[in-house]
Structure 1
Amino acid sequence: MEFSPIALTLIGLLLAAWTVAAAVMMVRASRRSRRYDAMRTSMKRMSKMLDEGPAIPMLVRADGKIEAPERLARWLGLDSMPQFLSEIAPGNGSGLSVTQLEELSALVRTTQKSAAPFRMVVTPPGSNRSLALRGVLADARISPGGAALVWVFDFSESEHELAGLREEASRAKGDFAALVGLIEAAPMPMWFRGAEGRLRLVNKAYVEAVGVESAENVVSNQVELIEPVDGLSPAQIATQAAQQGMATERIVPVTIRGERRSFRVSDLPLGSEGVAGYAIDIEDLEAQRREFRAFRKAQRAMLDQLSVGVAQFDASEKLVFANQPFLRQFDLSPDIVGESVTFDRFLSDARDKRRTPEVRDFPAWRREHVEWFAAQEALEEAWPLPGGTHLRIVAQPMPDGGLVMIAEDRTEQLALSATRDTLLRTRTATLDSLFEALAVFAPDGSLQLWNRSFAGTWGLPEEKLDSHPSADQLLELIAPNLARPARAKTIGEIIRAATLDRKEKGGRIELSDGRTLEAAGVPLPDGNGLLTVLDITDSQKAENALRERNAALEEADAVKARFLANMSYEFRTPLTSIGGFAELIKSGAAGPVSDQMAEYTDAILESVARLTDQVENVLDLSQSEAGLLPLSKERLELLPFVTEVVRGREEPIVSGGLSLDLRGNAGGVVEADKRQLGRVIGNLVDNAIAATPRGGKILVDVAKTREGARIVVSDNGPGMTKEELARALGGLRASSDGSVERRQGLGLPLSRQLVEAHGGTLTLQSEPGAGTTAIILLP
């Protein structure tokens, strides 16, 4: 081991001081030879001082003989000090190694010859002691003849301390290297500033962030990563942190690779050495915070739209959020959230506003509910409030020690539940009172609900239905009661159509006791199916009787129609003969005709014409009802055609003192049978003439419509009641004096049949005192 020059100098001075002191003592001892006792005492004292000193002198004479205290023998591991230097060898028990002894002997001889000092460090074999040897040429007064004085120092403790210091230094150096490597490999920019605020060291992340080639360029050009804040540069902020001796932290935007990102920058004072700094990229964290704030804002906005009240208390039991329904339910001000109201105070205020249940010991009740914050799972309570309000309270402890309180107003729900129960009881009573047998089947075919009539209708005991049998089991119970047991499948198909196919289906079932049941399946909105069963035995008998009667009536109607047709044809021959003979008599072929005879002849001809017309009406009506009326349609211009029909009634109009107004636009054309349509319009005009009193007015209006044509015949006569109107459509017409007379027999019914045969409609409208209007619509 080697010492620094300063340490060697100090050791030399110390040895010199001890040497000078010893020499002085020896000179004084020689001068006081006469005082031998005193000198011996001084020598002993000097020897004692040498023994206690940090160094032991060893005098090596020119012949190799040595002089040294026994203390040196102990240092060298010898039993006693030998007489010659060469005897300090391992062979004498310990001493120095051969190499060390040879080196020491050579150095001693050199000193003896040249007076050159030497230094040497030895470690005796088998010993932990470290010895430092410092040799000089001894003063002639000490030993004439060129002896060497060797001072031996024991610096074992210092050596151990130095070894420890070296180890610590090595370890510190390794730790420092690891720290430097860690800083260099850190993903975040890191730097070190001197006391004056200038950059001295930066890591690789800093270099990459500022986009410079190397750390040396960053330091030499003082390239800053952080932008100035409030007019202060990063160096000024770091200098302020060093002056205050406090770490500073701030969030600033930084542009890296063309992207603007948020960084948390920290400056850490390191005493007088300078300021360390680092920047952590928190852009993702800030983005998450923004998303979280947006999410929380949206969540709270959504909670405000709920009908359920929601409030949130933090870990310190303070109210941090309450939605609008919660504020309304507990009669709270919207500003209460900003007042940091505690949970126990909230309960107290709610009690003052009668928004908590009435309890005997409210403080104990409040303490019990404050313990909700320490609960491990959600708790639920029902709060019946004064005034009839019922709240359902759910307390949900949060992982952060807070609490979410949910309040649901169930007042209306409970009222609806009570109403529902009442309706269910009413429904059950209603179903049991129905004459029909009802049963509700689930989609799986099981019997869910039935009324009292159901079991009796099918002849089943009540206890068979209490087990809610399936449809197949029910059919097995019903089959023996059917006239044909195989017909039980029909009931199953009806149930299946209502429950699974969601279709309505029905059918008739005959029982073995002669009853007939009408069954129908109806799908219900809730997915179930309803089976209705009605005993139609009596109605079936009545229906059969009505069918028989209807068949008889149809046969009678057919006989009547054939009779009328035959009679119409049979009437024509005598009527034609009567008319022909009457015309011959009127023409004088049978002799002179008197005025009275001519009058009788005219009456005969008029009656023949009227009877012929009625016969034709009967024939046409019978053919029309049978759908056999022949029509010969042609293209008709409506206005000239109607004008011609009206002009044919000019004489009765004038003789009756009436006025007729014919209106219409030319161009209206229809496809119609000219003879039959003329009969219809003529009948309507004749009825208007007969019903209108003297001085009255008749209106005939012809118009073209989008669908075809419209003919209106109206009068301002006395009008008809609903009963009179019904009779008129049956062939009767109200007279001007209010009595009902038959007008042209079957005129109106035939007119309606003829219009419908043309694909049109005939509508008759009338009110007492307002006249009558007939409207014909033709395609």
Structure 2
Amino acid sequence: MTDSPALMVIIGLLLAAWTAVAGWFMLRASARSKGTETIRRSARRLSRMIEESPAVPLLVRADGRIEAPERLAGWFGLDRMPEYLSELSGGGDGGLDDAQLETLTGHVRRTQKTAASFTMTLAPLGSRKALTLRGTLADPSVSPAGAALIWVFDFTESEGELSALREQAASAREDFGALVGLIEAAPMPMWFRGADMQLRLVNRAYVSAVGSDSPDTVVREQIELVESMDGVSASEVAQQAGERRKAIERVVTTTIDGERRSLRVTDLPLIGDGIAGYAVDIEEMEEQAREFRAFREAQRSMLDQLSIGVAQFDANRRMTFANQPFHRVFGLPPGIVGERTTFEQMLMAARENGRIPEVRDFPNWRQEVAGWFLTDETHEENWPLPDSTHLRILGQPLPDGGLVFIAEDRTEQLALSATRDTLLRTRTATFDNLFEALAVFAPDGHLELWNRSFAGAWGLEEEALDGHPQAEDLLEAIAKKLADPKEVAAINHVIRAATLDRRKQRGTVKLADGRTLDFASVPLPDGNGLITVLDITASRQAEEALRERNRALEEADAVTTRFLANMSYEFRTPLTSIGGFAELLTSGVAGELSPQAKDYAQAIAQSVSKLTEQVENVLDLSQSEAGLMPLTKQKIALLPFVTEIVRKREDAITAGGLTLDLRSDPDKSVSADPQQLRRAIAHLLDNAIRATPSGGKITVEIRQKKDVTRISISDTGKGMSHHDMARALEGIRPTADGRGIERRQGLGIPLARQLIEAHGGTLELQSRRGSGTMAVIVLP
């Protein structure tokens, strides 16, 4: 860099001074030539040091001329140094602006006049440098005319550092203010202790918590928020934190606003001296924790009451809970939860008890099941066990990495489901194969279920029912099939009665094709209504036929009644006449008869007597079967009554070589028609006499107990088989076509039975071949 003339002048002056001094020394002492050379080198070094120094001299003369090295022009943002101070303004491209130039000019003039030094800072326009100017009055040896010597220092780096420091200081002040405001506005109590562990600063929350009026009062009176615990005060705990250089956190209980609250208090050592502290109110958290523990205990107690097995595993796959059904389902020992058994160990124990499915590769299967912990989806599987047990397994991952394992024994449900399916199929098959037509209507009126006969019964197409139509649509189709379409209202009423009114209802309707349907409704327990439809066309036709037959029978019965009334007269009158004439002939009214004629007349009288008896039997039996038997009841003493009947057959008993035993108390009596009862007992006694061989015995016994009279007639004859007894009890009955009369052999026992039944009693026959026969008359 080329030196400026002013600088060269200054340097030259300095060198001249040094040269003069050196010449003087050389003149005075030539012996000091070596010293002179040393001074010369020093002068050159001094000149070089000035050129390379961080300060550049600027000499301003009294007339405004300036002298300075050329390198100062670059500091001012100029291409070259100007000659006058006023030319330092570069016009916007460099140099100084007007304000800076005016200030510098003022300082220079004051220094020139008063020799007062000055210092100022400049920021040239065309340069990024920050310059510091220090001006003094130049030494007369430098400029004798009162020039100002200004040393220019490059202050760029220092200025940047100072700016950064200013910004940091401003930011620190802002942060400190924000921090103080944050601490003051914090909802939790916060404080600061000095090196002596005394309170120096507290926030509003602290003041409110201790119930004081201002922070100054708290600091002055050293009001502690936390009470001493176990003889250790809050300041001692803070001192321990300072000695350990580690934060101490503890949960304490204190009184705030008259309530005991749980606080988490932290004493935190700061860099340097001092301990900061803050307290977080965790009363709600503690309350929630207590509620959570109570909820967990209640939940686990509830899970123990479930029939479904539930177990919970933590993030480490260790069992933390298992209810009693879970132990039963997998056959686990009681202490498995307390042992913190892992999920894999639980599966191994279940495998040993045969409570997992049979798998070919158990380790691989166990690894797949354990993979449920690593997913976020719920896993559901069905495990068929070797003992035919079916388990429904549900694995629900938890947010904390754990797993809820649920096992439900569905063996009974599957059995019930299979039974239900079988019942449904059975019901469907039963419905479809019933003779009646069935349909089930829901409460909302739509057809829910029907069998195959339902559509055919109404003459509808089966496709019309596939869409489960509403009752209104179905009735509209049925109305077209009725002989009278208005009768569809009756069907609608029956359906409503079953589904809405919940009561039974029935009705009958006739179709256009001549068929007659009988329909009825029954409310079902599930709220639906069952409608049954039966085709009664054939039964109606049969009913009409039966009515016609009944009318014919009634007419025939009337004919029979008239016939019996006529025959009772027509039979008895001729027989009475024949018997009377026979008696007249025997008595000789018509003249004396020969012995042979008398025998003939007596035979005629005997035949008439027997014929009269048989006619009376036939008429009585016919009247009894027709319900026309006349009875005239009166009180009868049984022993004399039966004795009289036996006495009339004494000759027959003696002639047959038989014995008869009559047993009865004398005071036994009964209310009956004497004539009809006599005939019934006589017929039974006659049968016993005929059936008993010679030397046999007949027993007649009369018993009366609790208003029931029993007259038994037993013999020691050959007896009868069941078939013979059935034939003996049969009498005269109408033929199968109802147009004639069918005759059975013998009339005694049937007539006796009819006579006894006319009295409201019964006739019982007890017989066995080879053991005789016993007839028992039971009268009320």
Specify if TM > 0.5. yes
Change (3 A) 1:40 1:332: same
Query: SS at the partner of 2:216?
Result: helix
Structure 1 partner of 2:43: 43
Query: SS at the partner of 1:97?
Result: helix
**In the aligned structure 2, how far is the partner of 1:516 from the partner of 1:689?**
67
**In the aligned structure 2, how far is the partner of 1:460 from the partner of 1:97?**
119
**In the aligned structure 1, how far is the partner of 2:462 from the partner of 2:153?**
124
Aligned pairs (5 A) from 1:48-67: 48-55=48-55
Aligned pairs (5 A) from 1:169-208: 169-208=169-208
Structure 1 partner of 2:318: 318
**In the aligned structure 2, how far is the partner of 1:148 from the partner of 1:67?**
11
**In the aligned structure 1, how far is the partner of 2:552 from the partner of 2:279?**
107
Change (3 A) 1:438 1:83: closer
Indicate yes or no: 2:540 matched with 1:537. Answer: yes
Structure 2 partner of 1:131: 132
CA shift for structure 1 position 360: 2.0
Query: SS at the partner of 1:383?
Result: strand
Change (3 A) 1:68 1:303: same
**In the aligned structure 2, how far is the partner of 1:542 from the partner of 1:27?**
178
The Cα offsets for residues 684-706 of structure 1, whole Å up to 9 and x where unpaired, read as: xxxx99569xxxxxxxxxxxxxx
Change (3 A) 1:37 1:388: same
CA shift for structure 1 position 498: 0.8
Query: SS at the partner of 1:254?
Result: strand
Matched residue type, 2:705 = M
User: Contact 1:137–1:149 at 8 Å: present in 2 too?
Assistant: yes
Query: SS at the partner of 1:188?
Result: coil
User: Contact 1:245–1:271 at 8 Å: present in 2 too?
Assistant: no
Indicate yes or no: 2:101 matched with 1:101. Answer: no
Structure 2 partner of 1:720: 705
Structure 2 partner of 1:223: 223
**In the aligned structure 2, how far is the partner of 1:43 from the partner of 1:181?**
64
CA shift for structure 1 position 121: 2.5
Matched residue type, 1:102 = G
Matched residue type, 1:121 = M
Aligned pairs (5 A) from 1:82-161: 97-111=101-115, 118-123=117-122, 125-126=124-125, 128-133=129-134, 135=136, 153-161=153-161
User: Contact 1:88–1:101 at 8 Å: present in 2 too?
Assistant: no
**In the aligned structure 1, how far is the partner of 2:95 from the partner of 2:474?**
119
439-448 vs 273-282, greater mean Cα deviation: 439-448
CA shift for structure 1 position 474: 4.9
CA shift for structure 1 position 120: 2.0
CA shift for structure 1 position 345: 3.4
CA shift for structure 1 position 290: 2.6
Change (3 A) 1:87 1:432: closer
TM-score scaled to structure 2, two decimals? Answer: 0.60
User: Contact 1:90–1:98 at 8 Å: present in 2 too?
Assistant: no
**In the aligned structure 2, how far is the partner of 1:482 from the partner of 1:75?**
123
**In the aligned structure 1, how far is the partner of 2:90 from the partner of 2:425?**
124
CA shift for structure 1 position 490: 1.9
CA shift for structure 1 position 547: 9.8
CA shift for structure 1 position 255: 1.9
User: Contact 1:242–1:271 at 8 Å: present in 2 too?
Assistant: no
**In the aligned structure 2, how far is the partner of 1:480 from the partner of 1:152?**
125
The Cα offsets for residues 222-244 of structure 1, whole Å up to 9 and x where unpaired, read as: 11112223332111111111211
User: Contact 1:72–1:81 at 8 Å: present in 2 too?
Assistant: yes
Query: SS at the partner of 2:196?
Result: coil
The Cα offsets for residues 496-541 of structure 1, whole Å up to 9 and x where unpaired, read as: 2112322211223455677655432111011221123454537855
Change (3 A) 1:455 1:49: closer
User: Contact 1:691–1:735 at 8 Å: present in 2 too?
Assistant: no
**In the aligned structure 2, how far is the partner of 1:433 from the partner of 1:74?**
120
**In the aligned structure 2, how far is the partner of 1:154 from the partner of 1:33?**
41
**In the aligned structure 2, how far is the partner of 1:432 from the partner of 1:70?**
124
CA shift for structure 1 position 486: 3.5
The Cα offsets for residues 694-736 of structure 1, whole Å up to 9 and x where unpaired, read as: xxxxxxxxxxxxxxxxxxxxxxx98637xxx5xx6xxxx6799
**In the aligned structure 1, how far is the partner of 2:364 from the partner of 2:276?**
57
**In the aligned structure 2, how far is the partner of 1:316 from the partner of 1:148?**
87
The Cα offsets for residues 430-474 of structure 1, whole Å up to 9 and x where unpaired, read as: 556655443323334444444566566556676766665554555
**In the aligned structure 2, how far is the partner of 1:182 from the partner of 1:505?**
84
Query: SS at the partner of 2:382?
Result: strand
Matched residue type, 1:246 = K
**In the aligned structure 2, how far is the partner of 1:550 from the partner of 1:147?**
173
**In the aligned structure 1, how far is the partner of 2:43 from the partner of 2:145?**
24
Change (3 A) 1:446 1:26: same
**In the aligned structure 1, how far is the partner of 2:72 from the partner of 2:462?**
127
CA shift for structure 1 position 383: 1.0
Structure 2 partner of 1:291: 291
Aligned pairs (5 A) from 1:699-710: none
User: Contact 2:135–2:148 at 8 Å: present in 1 too?
Assistant: no
Aligned pairs (5 A) from 1:500-539: 500-510=500-510, 517-534=517-534, 535=536, 537=540
CA shift for structure 1 position 55: 4.5
Q: CA RMSD in A?
A: 4.9
Indicate yes or no: 2:366 matched with 1:366. Answer: yes
Query: SS at the partner of 1:502?
Result: coil
**In the aligned structure 1, how far is the partner of 2:467 from the partner of 2:66?**
128
Matched residue type, 1:381 = E
CA shift for structure 1 position 392: 1.4
**In the aligned structure 1, how far is the partner of 2:354 from the partner of 2:341?**
18
Structure 1 partner of 2:587: none
CA shift for structure 1 position 217: 0.9
Aligned pairs (5 A) from 1:273-288: 273-288=273-288
**In the aligned structure 2, how far is the partner of 1:490 from the partner of 1:315?**
71
Aligned pairs (5 A) from 1:80-479: 97-111=101-115, 118-123=117-122, 125-126=124-125, 128-133=129-134, 135=136, 153-431=153-431, 436-451=436-451, 454=454, 470-472=470-472, 474-475=474-475
CA shift for structure 1 position 272: 2.2
**In the aligned structure 1, how far is the partner of 2:543 from the partner of 2:379?**
64
Change (3 A) 1:156 1:72: same
Matched residue type, 2:104 = Q
> Number of residue pairs matched?
552
Query: SS at the partner of 1:492?
Result: helix
**In the aligned structure 2, how far is the partner of 1:420 from the partner of 1:255?**
67
**In the aligned structure 1, how far is the partner of 2:405 from the partner of 2:550?**
74
CA shift for structure 1 position 375: 3.7
TM-score scaled to structure 1, two decimals? Answer: 0.60
Structure 1 unaligned spans of 5+: 1-21, 112-116, 556-687, 693-716, 739-747, 750-779
User: Contact 2:64–2:86 at 8 Å: present in 1 too?
Assistant: no
**In the aligned structure 1, how far is the partner of 2:244 from the partner of 2:470?**
89
**In the aligned structure 2, how far is the partner of 1:256 from the partner of 1:537?**
97
Query: SS at the partner of 2:705?
Result: coil
443-452 vs 64-73, greater mean Cα deviation: 64-73
User: Contact 1:132–1:154 at 8 Å: present in 2 too?
Assistant: no
The Cα offsets for residues 168-204 of structure 1, whole Å up to 9 and x where unpaired, read as: 1112111111111111111211111112221111111
**In the aligned structure 2, how far is the partner of 1:331 from the partner of 1:195?**
65
Structure 1 partner of 2:678: none
> Which structure has the bigger radius of gyration?
2
Aligned pairs (5 A) from 1:559-570: none
424-433 vs 319-328, greater mean Cα deviation: 424-433
Matched residue type, 1:502 = R
User: Contact 1:73–1:80 at 8 Å: present in 2 too?
Assistant: yes
Change (3 A) 1:214 1:736: same
The Cα offsets for residues 558-609 of structure 1, whole Å up to 9 and x where unpaired, read as: xxxxxxxxxxxxxxxxxxxxxxxxxxxxxxxxxxxxxxxxxxxxxxxxxxxx
Matched residue type, 2:341 = V
Change (3 A) 1:248 1:46: same
